[in-house]
């Protein structure tokens, strides 16, 4: 920019947001000198394992992210640059060996729908994947959608039904339950034990056991059966519903005081817009929604947490992806008319809370 003699720019595209020797952002230094209306950032430097002060990427406004397909292309071209970094999911054996997209692809192939990894990565919504099967194999949409649903159910069952939390970032944050309770208490004065709760995406049941053991009025929802079976043993009087977050049609509208979905909205093949719409439908006016996005990747050998989420279709964690996902969810809640939307970052996840209008 100095060589061009430019003092302003409409747009700037940065393939990798690098760090200088003193651990400050080159982007931050650039913004001190030159006015740029819109900035597009591809990936953080692999040396970045924590947020830095005055990080321009995490601030709302003029900094945008490259689309996933371009990020994957950049990573592939710079694979050696990232391979030995803490952002490589080989640092966590559970995440490197249990990939939802690969499990879905394998399941679909076993029933005659042979889709490549690139096919799956290019169609990371249930509707899109089912539509691709319809086009390629000439089957009815209902059959294709059921195949995708069953493949997703099996994949999530295998990964989370008997999940070992030794590989989870929360192992480094033993007070995560206090984080949740603090978020709830900022949104409601009613004790958890007195409200009608819906918990969407229960996994292996660990979260529910830690948070809702004293709550008699609770409905658990998950796409996978194994986690709900575990929940049934711990909460025999609860209602269990096998369905996705995007389709709660078996449940009545305006029925719940609290909707909780922890680390589910960042799942593979998740439709944020449909899930948020269903949350709004089943909540009573004045009801509370609490959603969290995973934002911590446990580097098991070192016992430390690297912020971020895995970029779909890659072996690498993007430190900014958790923030990107939270901003997307917040925009959907705002579109639906939720009020008092607030963000609460913690060491291992980012919470969003809002009130149903």
- Per DSSP, the residues of 85-143 read STTBGGGSHHHHH--HHHHHHHHHHHTT----HHHHHH--SHHHHHHHHHHHH---HHH
Beta strands, E only, the chain: 8-17, 35-44, 63-65, 197-200, 218-222, 239-242, 256-262, 283-294, 297-299, 304-306, 309-310, 317-318, 339-345, 349-355
Pick from 290, 197, 184: nearest CA to 235: 197
Among the candidates 129, 160, 191, a domain finishes at: 160
Name the DSSP class of 19. Answer: B
Q: Is residue 3 part of a domain?
A: no
Name the DSSP class of 57. Answer: T
pTM of the predicted model, to two decimals?
0.87
How many domains is the chain partitioned into structurally?
Answer: 3
How would you write 312-350 as a 3-class SS string? Answer: CCCCEEECCHHHHHHHHHHHHHHHHCCEEEEEEECCCEE
The confidence score (pLDDT) of residue 258 equals 98
The confidence score (pLDDT) of residue 165 equals 66
CA 277 to CA 334: how far, in whole Å?
A: 11
Which structure tokens are listed for 155? 């994949």
Same domain? 192 vs 341? yes
Same domain? 223 vs 338? yes
Q: Is residue 91 part of a domain?
A: no
CATH number at residue 237: 3.40.50.150
Q: Are residues 338 and 356 in contact, defined by beta-carbon separation less than 8 angstroms?
A: yes
Q: Are residues 72 and 43 in contact, defined by beta-carbon separation less than 8 angstroms?
A: no
The confidence score (pLDDT) of residue 251 equals 97
Measured CA to CA in angstroms, residue 180 lies from 119, 133, 286, 315, 338 at distances of 37, 40, 19, 29, 20
Same domain? 216 vs 330? yes
Same domain? 285 vs 243? yes
b/e map 64-99, b = 16+ CB within 10 Å: ebbebeebbebbeebeeebeebbbbbebbebbeeeb
Q: Is residue 77 part of a domain?
A: no
Question: The domain containing residue 141 runs over which residues?
Answer: 98-160
CA 57 to CA 48: how far, in whole Å?
A: 13
The confidence score (pLDDT) of residue 95 equals 65
Torsions phi, psi of 294, nearest 5? -60, 135
Q: Is residue 73 part of a domain?
A: no
Same domain? 129 vs 103? yes
Same domain? 115 vs 178? no
Q: Is residue 81 part of a domain?
A: no
Measured CA to CA in angstroms, residue 340 lies from 125, 178, 186, 333 at distances of 29, 21, 11, 10
Among the candidates 43, 66, 89, a domain finishes at: 66
Q: Is residue 92 part of a domain?
A: no
Q: Is residue 1 part of a domain?
A: no
Give the mean pLDDT per block of 10 residues along the chain (357 residues): 85 84 76 87 83 76 85 89 84 70 89 88 87 95 94 83 68 85 95 96 85 93 85 87 95 97 91 96 98 85 79 86 91 97 91 96
Same domain? 288 vs 322? yes
Exposed, middle or buried, 249 (CB in 10 Å: 0-12/13-18/19+)? exposed
Rounded CA Rg of the chain: 21
* 180 three-state secondary structure: helix
Among the candidates 160, 189, 206, a domain finishes at: 160
The confidence score (pLDDT) of residue 162 equals 62
Q: Which residue's structure tokens are 């390629």?
A: 136
CA 250 to CA 259: how far, in whole Å?
A: 16
């Amino acid at each position: 920019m100095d060589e061009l003699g430019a003092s302003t720019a409409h747009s700037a595209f940065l393939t990798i947001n690098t760090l200088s020797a003193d651990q400050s952002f080159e982007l931050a230094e650039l913004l001190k000198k030159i006015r740029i209306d819109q900035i597009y950032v591809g990936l953080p430097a692999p040396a970045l394992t924590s947020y830095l002060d005055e990080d321009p990427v995490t601030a709302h406004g003029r900094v945008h992210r490259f689309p996933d397909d371009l990020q994957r292309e950049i990573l592939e071209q710079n694979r050696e640059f990232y391979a030995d970094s803490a952002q490589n999911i080989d640092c966590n054996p559970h995440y490197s060996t249990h990939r939802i997209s690969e499990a879905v692809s394998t399941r679909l192939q076993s029933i005659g729908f042979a889709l490549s990894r690139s096919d799956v990565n290019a169609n990371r919504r249930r509707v899109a994947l089912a539509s691709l099967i319809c086009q390629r194999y000439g089957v009815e949409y209902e059959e294709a959608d059921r195949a995708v649903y069953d493949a997703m159910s099996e994949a999530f069952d295998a990964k989370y039904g008997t999940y070992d939390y030794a590989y989870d970032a929360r192992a480094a944050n033993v007070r995560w339950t206090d984080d949740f309770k603090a978020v709830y208490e900022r949104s409601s004065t009613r004790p958890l034990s007195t409200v009608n709760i819906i918990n969407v995406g229960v996994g292996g049941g660990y979260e529910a056991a830690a948070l809702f053991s004293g709550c008699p009025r609770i409905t658990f929802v998950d796409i996978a059966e194994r986690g709900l079976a575990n929940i049934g043993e711990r909460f025999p009087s609860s209602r269990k519903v096998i369905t996705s977050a995007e389709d709660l049609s078996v449940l009545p509208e305006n029925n719940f005081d609290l909707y909780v979905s922890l680390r589910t909205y960042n799942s593979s093949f998740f439709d944020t817009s449909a899930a948020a719409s269903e949350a709004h439908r089943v909540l009573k006016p004045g009801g509370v929604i609490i959603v969290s996005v995973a934002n911590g990747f446990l580097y098991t050998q070192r016992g430390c947490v690297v912020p971020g989420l895995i970029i779909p279709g890659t072996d690498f964690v993007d430190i900014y992806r958790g923030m990107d996902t939270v901003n997307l969810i917040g925009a959907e809640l705002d579109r639906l008319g939720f009020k008092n939307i607030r963000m609460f970052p913690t060491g291992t996840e980012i919470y969003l809370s809002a009130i149903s209008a």
